[in-house]
Structure 1
Amino acid sequence: MIAKQHLINRFISYVTVDTESNPESDTTPSTAKQWDLANALVEELKEIGMQDVTIDENAYIMATLPSNIEKQVPTIGFVSHFDTTPDFTGANVKPQIIENYNGGDIVLNKAENIVLSPKDFDDLLLYKGQTLITTDGTTLLGADDKAGIAEIISAMEYLIQHPEIKHGKIRVGFTPDEEIGRGAHKFDVEKFGADWAYTMDGSQIGELEYENFNAAGAVVTVKGKIVHPGYAKGKMVNSMYIATDYINSLPRLETPEHTEDRQGFFHLYSIEGEVDSTKLQYIIRDHDKEHFEARKEMMLKLADELNSQFEKEVVTIEIKDQYFNMREKIEPVMHIVDIAEEAMQQAGIKPIIKPIRGGTDGSQLSFMGLPCPNIFAGGHNFHGRYEYVPVESMLKAIEVIVNIAKLVPEK
């Protein structure tokens, strides 16, 4: 397949470019620095021999590998995103390469005593003897989803260099702002022109996912009344106390740290408070559509109950849907999952089919008319200092992409 060092060099050239997105921005991409990598990717796609390479005014990249067979077969696509999460800094990434990992602790940063240990992350033990790329403990790595981009480009490069491998038309797409939920918002599905696609945005080797959360965001605003504390009796209304009542009235065990598998949750991720005003920001997640709707209704009813204790409305809530479970769009075309599963098996990989406790561009794209299951990219511990990726997992992902390209004309 692709030479190991070539893949490492490609991946590192991506992760050392800061592409952190910004949810507070209303531009696309949300940060100007995303253009730095986007423009470089355009040039690289051209250099390896891809056709119809385009980048639009919002930094969405598309390119084509033309069919090399006579018969008509479906056009397929592969999609990844080049932004990194604002949850943890992606500036000045300094990757470390751990060759022939021995299964022990990895010191990421000696000065700050930051250690990546299988005692905390037992998945590490799956990769004994392999080459790991880690952070230096002060930033994230960016394998989410620059590993996916490296794999897609490497697979296209391999197919171009091996024309004896027969395949239909393949489209690739790279998006900004996936990490802030906007990666598919301005994706031109009609222009992309694929019958279906795969996002290369999963984690552990073998992951194959076609079910994800239904997702919404909620902003709860509580208005209080500030007066001098020495003369506050019967007058002051402390918004932070009311906000605390709201927080404590939601099911305490239905939070991310207490749930797994298909269990949904309420996640309070930001509080800004003073006596006069407090703002709570939540995300709401559930795989089951009815449970998802019930969660939103619970939050609205709780606001009404708290308001009933006051003469005027003090609690307001705004809920916005973000994306939905793509399962309902994938199940009618399950052959696209079957092809990916067979491609993994041909690569000697046992498929791990499970629901995503999150979302990908593919969930939104599926509802936009482009069915789009998710395939592993190989990284672990996304969105933080302990992120790492085994190079061998990335090589296997490349092999899976190539296998899918070969299988489609055979079906």
Structure 2
Amino acid sequence: MTNKQEIIDRFLSYVKIDTQSDENSQTTPSTQKQWDLANKLRDELSEMGLQDVSIDENAYVMASLPSNVEHEVPVIGFVAHFDTTPDFSGTNVNPQIIEDYDGKDIVLNKEKNIILSPDYFEDLLQYKGQTLITTDGNTLLGADDKAGITEIMEALKYLLQNPEIKHGKIRVCFTPDEEIGRGAHKFDVEKFGAEWAYTMDGSQIGELEYENFNAAGAVVTVSGKSVHPGYAKDKMINSMYIATDFINSLPRLETPEHTEGRQGFFHLNGIEGDVEETKLHYIIRDHDREHFEARKKMIQDLAGEICSQYQRECVQVEVTDQYFNMKEKVEPVMHIVDIAEEAMQELGILPDIKPIRGGTDGAQLSFMGLPCPNIFAGGHNFHGKYEYVPVESMQKAVEVIVKIAELTAEKYQQ
């Protein structure tokens, strides 16, 4: 249905543009280089013949594909983000194309002996005989989420070229800064004007998600007292030791490396400190709202206990909610998930409906009035040098977008 080489060419043209976001920046987009791809996408949408093509002062790119049916059909949307994670370099991405993958080790970088092996990454074996796009071992690939952008663009192109496929009005939006949790912060839901949407930002083929973590960040500030170590007896209070007590008092098995499925966790993802002051940076995650609130309370209670133990106000905790589980906003309109599931089934794709162990722009958008489940974009091993995407999975994602548009128009026919 869709042209494989055209998908490859489009994807490569996007991943070679560095769009890494920066959590320390206060601007939107957080990095100037994100404009490079945003402007390119705006130009491509215009050249393709889309309507209402716009780019706002924060680099959100929107466009419309008009309805080609007489009857009323709800406006639906598709969303993807163009930034890549700050966690790994996105500069000078140099993809490798592995045709007719044989199921064996893939040498990403011979000099550095970096190997993508099915012995470790077992999912590779699903894609024997397919075309894989990998990194060269020096950077991430950027399939998260330039695969999603590619798929949306190719689906729009296909619908324009095949007007016999009936669909209602379709809105698309490409966003900055999703990787630093701000992708939906300045998304103009009213301007977008869709009744519901889908983020094309999942991983392997078949994924369909409408549950995600409730999420918060916590900064634990431990204060000590610095005194010359030669004269410190009964005077020095070492904040790093108190911080260690705090760390060891949280449930050791409730961390990312020991949890799966709907299990929540506390994740210590940063420490900086000296005798006088130590800061611990945590993220708190749980699918269950009650458990989530209990986790936040546990951290606060623990700070109080340690202060009592040391008989001084030595631990302060600042907790900030980040996003919530979109399930409560999507369940009342479950037909939007059902349509996506039916689209996959009609295309011979086995739907893999499961909770996201992370977040998505769709979570925030759902709470902003735009219910927004998440659909696979096809990539694996995001945020690092072992990232890859099978081209056939991207082709299937294009077909899913087209089929969702078609099914939505059919279901609302008088």
When the two structures are superposed, what TM-score results if normalisation uses the length of structure 1?
0.99
Separation (CA, whole Å) in 2 of partners of 1:12 and 1:313? 54
SS at 1:308 equivalent: helix
| Partner residue, 2:75 | 75
| Partner residue, 1:122 | 122
Q: Deviations over 1:54-97 (max 9, x none)?
A: 01001111100000111111000000000011111111111010
| Partner residue, 2:240 | 240
SS at 1:53 equivalent: strand
Separation (CA, whole Å) in 1 of partners of 2:183 and 2:263? 25
Structure 2 residue runs without a partner (length 5+): none
Compute the displacement of 1:190 (Å).
0.5
SS at 2:243 equivalent: helix
Please state if 1:281 is matched with 2:267: no
With 270-279 and 394-403 compared, the bigger mean Cα shift is at 270-279
| Partner residue, 1:204 | 204
Q: Deviations over 1:186-219 (max 9, x none)?
A: 1010100000000000001000000000000111
| Partner residue, 2:301 | 301
Separation (CA, whole Å) in 1 of partners of 2:97 and 2:256? 31
Separation (CA, whole Å) in 2 of partners of 1:239 and 1:186? 39
| Partner residue, 1:250 | 250
| Partner residue, 1:336 | 336
| Partner residue, 1:38 | 38
Separation (CA, whole Å) in 2 of partners of 1:354 and 1:203? 12
**Contact 1:220 1:281 (C-alpha < 8 Å) held by counterparts:** yes
Separation (CA, whole Å) in 2 of partners of 1:97 and 1:277? 49
Separation (CA, whole Å) in 2 of partners of 1:8 and 1:164? 26
SS at 1:149 equivalent: helix
SS at 2:157 equivalent: helix
| Partner residue, 2:359 | 359
**Contact 1:85 1:179 (C-alpha < 8 Å) held by counterparts:** yes
| Partner residue, 2:62 | 62
| Partner residue, 2:156 | 156
**Contact 1:204 1:378 (C-alpha < 8 Å) held by counterparts:** yes
Compute the displacement of 1:309 (Å).
2.6
Separation (CA, whole Å) in 2 of partners of 1:220 and 1:209? 32
Separation (CA, whole Å) in 1 of partners of 2:107 and 2:273? 38
Q: Which amino acid aligns with 1:157?
A: K
Please state if 1:189 is matched with 2:189: yes
Compute the displacement of 1:273 (Å).
1.3
Please state if 1:350 is matched with 2:350: yes
Please state if 1:178 is matched with 2:167: no
Separation (CA, whole Å) in 1 of partners of 2:192 and 2:324? 21
Please state if 1:7 is matched with 2:28: no
| Partner residue, 2:147 | 147
Q: Deviations over 1:255-303 (max 9, x none)?
A: 0000000000001111111111111111100000000000000000011
Compute the displacement of 1:347 (Å).
1.2
Compute the displacement of 1:310 (Å).
3.2
When the two structures are superposed, what TM-score results if normalisation uses the length of structure 2?
0.98
SS at 1:410 equivalent: helix
SS at 2:94 equivalent: coil
| Partner residue, 1:213 | 213
Superposition map of 1:364-379 within 5 A: 364-379=364-379
Q: Which amino acid aligns with 1:25?
A: S
Separation (CA, whole Å) in 2 of partners of 1:224 and 1:36? 47
Q: Which amino acid aligns with 1:188?
A: D
Q: Deviations over 1:32-54 (max 9, x none)?
A: 11111111110011111111110
SS at 2:309 equivalent: coil
Compute the displacement of 1:307 (Å).
1.0
Compute the displacement of 1:311 (Å).
4.2
Separation (CA, whole Å) in 2 of partners of 1:268 and 1:97? 37
Structure 1 residue runs without a partner (length 5+): none
Structure 1 stretches of 4+ with a deviation exceeding 3 A read none
Separation (CA, whole Å) in 2 of partners of 1:266 and 1:402? 40
Separation (CA, whole Å) in 2 of partners of 1:94 and 1:220? 40
Separation (CA, whole Å) in 1 of partners of 2:59 and 2:314? 42
Separation (CA, whole Å) in 2 of partners of 1:42 and 1:388? 26
Separation (CA, whole Å) in 2 of partners of 1:228 and 1:13? 58
Compute the displacement of 1:184 (Å).
0.4
Separation (CA, whole Å) in 1 of partners of 2:36 and 2:399? 28
Separation (CA, whole Å) in 1 of partners of 2:350 and 2:123? 16
**Contact 1:49 1:157 (C-alpha < 8 Å) held by counterparts:** no
Separation (CA, whole Å) in 2 of partners of 1:219 and 1:53? 41
Please state if 1:137 is matched with 2:165: no
Separation (CA, whole Å) in 2 of partners of 1:54 and 1:82? 16
Compute the displacement of 1:103 (Å).
0.3
Compute the displacement of 1:312 (Å).
3.1
Compute the displacement of 1:185 (Å).
0.6
Q: Which amino acid aligns with 2:44?
A: E
| Partner residue, 1:314 | 314
Separation (CA, whole Å) in 1 of partners of 2:379 and 2:162? 27
Separation (CA, whole Å) in 2 of partners of 1:219 and 1:140? 29
User: What RMSD, in angstroms, separates the aligned Cα atoms of the two structures?
Assistant: 0.7
Separation (CA, whole Å) in 2 of partners of 1:182 and 1:395? 29
Q: Deviations over 1:224-270 (max 9, x none)?
A: 11111111111111111111111110000000000000000001111
SS at 1:401 equivalent: helix
**Contact 1:88 1:140 (C-alpha < 8 Å) held by counterparts:** yes
Separation (CA, whole Å) in 2 of partners of 1:58 and 1:289? 32
